[in-house]
């Protein structure tokens, strides 16, 4: 009897305590629910939009990638496959960006007060995309590799920009043009120069990268990556029979001549980098600037001059002699890291 009464007392205590705990747990939840009830629906729509903001371009790329694979399985005519490859490649580039990046980039362009020098590596691309940016450019150095298309689409209204045109042989990708400019302007470099491919029209990720490079602040934002990411990048190289990839620039004939990529003398990238730069530029694991494209970037005069002319002369030689060169793909991967300005790091 006594034992049964003792058990009843215990059950009563447990029941009372559980009610108190349940009430204490319920009260905060009720307050949170009341708080959310006062928040307008537009706030939740905004949260949903931000979530989509990080995914939408990746979803678009997966759609076009699956479309391409479907065409390859069905063995549709090659012209259709080429179109699908271009869309797949363009949306892959775009998948590294977000819609909100465009708002930020246009805001920076609108507020840019100083003019900056721009170096463009040009082949046959339409240059009409330059029109809204001419008022922000001081000197436009146009390095042409097809004389018949040299000024194709170049805006007639220069809006104060001074255009300097150079004709170069069609070799070495954009790295050849960049290195030629650096080597021949080493003593007269502007305080800041933007280097870009001319294949911007219709290539949204490249246009976004150009806008970010054009408006880069004095102390650019730092972006860092995992050590595992750079382990893969260091091993980058093409196979022995690699053909030129699908180009995203207008005026190119993709793979029609089945041209192969001229392999570098030193490879993979880690070996090539140690031979020419004598150091691993990926050691800091970080780069500066908001643009995603490796061959579209802004760099200061002091950052360029931290390397001697002899290095640029050797790099230019390694990026000369053929149209599409593996060394150019190497340069595309290291530009942003070799110019991690010591002043930026200190800041």
User: pLDDT tens digit string along 254-285?
Assistant: 544 557 888 999 999 999 999 999 999 999 89
- If you ran DSSP here, which 8-state letter would residue 221 be given? P
Determine contact, residues 64/98, Cβ cutoff 8 Å.
no
**CATH class held by domain 96-346:** alpha beta
Q: Does the predicted TM-score (pTM) go above 0.85? A: no
H or E stretch at 61:
helix 56-74
Place of tokens 């150019």: 328
**b/e sequence 62-100, b meaning 16+ C-beta within 10 Å:** eebbeebeebeeeeeeeeeeeebbbbbbbbbbbbbbbee
Low-confidence ranges of the chain (pLDDT < 70): 1-39, 41-51, 242-258, 341-347
CB of 175 within 8 A of CB of 320?
Answer: no
d(CA 219, CA 171): 34
Is there a contact between 264 and 330 (Cβ–Cβ < 8 Å)?
A: yes
Which pLDDT score is estimated for 163? 97
Tokens of 48: 């949903």
Helix (H, G, I), strand (E, B) or coil at 334: helix
Q: Which of 191, 164, 321, 38 is nearest to 154 (CA)?
A: 164
Structural domain boundaries in the chain? 2-38, 96-346
Closest of 209, 180, 204 to residue 194, by C-alpha? 209
- DSSP helix/strand/coil, 306: coil
Sign, CA dihedral 127-178-229-306, equals negative
SS3 72: helix
Per-residue pLDDT at 95: 81
Edge-to-edge order in the sheet of strand 192-197: 162-167, 137-144, 116-122, 192-197, 297-300
CA distance 161 to 163: 6
Per-residue confidence (pLDDT) for residue 37, from 0 to 100: 65
Per-residue pLDDT, 345? 43
DSSP H/E element including 34:
helix 2-38
Strands 286-288 and 222-224: antiparallel
């Amino acid at each position: 009897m006594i034992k049964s009464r003792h058990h009843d007392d215990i059950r009563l205590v447990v029941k009372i305590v559980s009610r108190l705990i349940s009430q204490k747990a319920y009260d905060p939840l009720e307050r949170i629910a009341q708080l959310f009830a006062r928040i307008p629906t537009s706030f939740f729509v905004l949260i949903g939009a931000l979530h989509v903001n990080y995914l939408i371009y990746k979803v678009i790329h997966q759609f076009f990638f699956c479309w391409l694979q479907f065409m390859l399985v069905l063995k549709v005519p090659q012209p259709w496959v080429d179109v699908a490859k271009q869309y797949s490649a363009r949306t892959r580039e775009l998948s590294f960006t977000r819609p909100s990046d465009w708002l930020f980039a246009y805001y920076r362009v609108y507020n840019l007060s100083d003019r900056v020098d721009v170096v463009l590596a040009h082949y046959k691309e339409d240059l009409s995309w330059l029109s809204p940016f001419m008022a922000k450019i001081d000197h436009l150095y146009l390095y042409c590799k097809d004389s018949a298309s040299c000024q194709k689409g170049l805006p007639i209204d220069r809006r104060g920009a001074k255009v300097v045109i150079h004709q170069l042989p069609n070799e070495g990708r954009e790295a050849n043009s960049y290195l030629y400019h650096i080597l021949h302007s080493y003593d007269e470099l502007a305080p800041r120069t933007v280097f870009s491919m001319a294949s911007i029209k219709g290539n949204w990720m490249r246009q976004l990268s150009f806008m970010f490079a054009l408006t880069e602040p004095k102390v650019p934002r730092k972006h860092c990556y995992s050590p595992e990411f750079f382990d893969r990048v260091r091993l980058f190289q093409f196979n022995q029979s690699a053909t030129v990839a699908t180009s995203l620039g207008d005026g190119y004939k993709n793979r029609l001549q089945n041209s192969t990529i001229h392999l570098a003398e030193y490879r993979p990238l880690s070996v090539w980098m140690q031979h020419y730069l004598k150091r691993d530029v990926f050691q800091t694991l970080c780069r500066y600037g908001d643009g995603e494209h490796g061959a579209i970037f802004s760099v200061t005069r002091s950052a360029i001059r931290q390397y001697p002319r002899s290095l640029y002369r050797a790099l230019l030689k390694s990026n000369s002699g053929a149209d599409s060169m593996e060394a150019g793909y190497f340069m595309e991967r290291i530009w942003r890291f070799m110019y991690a300005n010591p002043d930026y790091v200190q800041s």
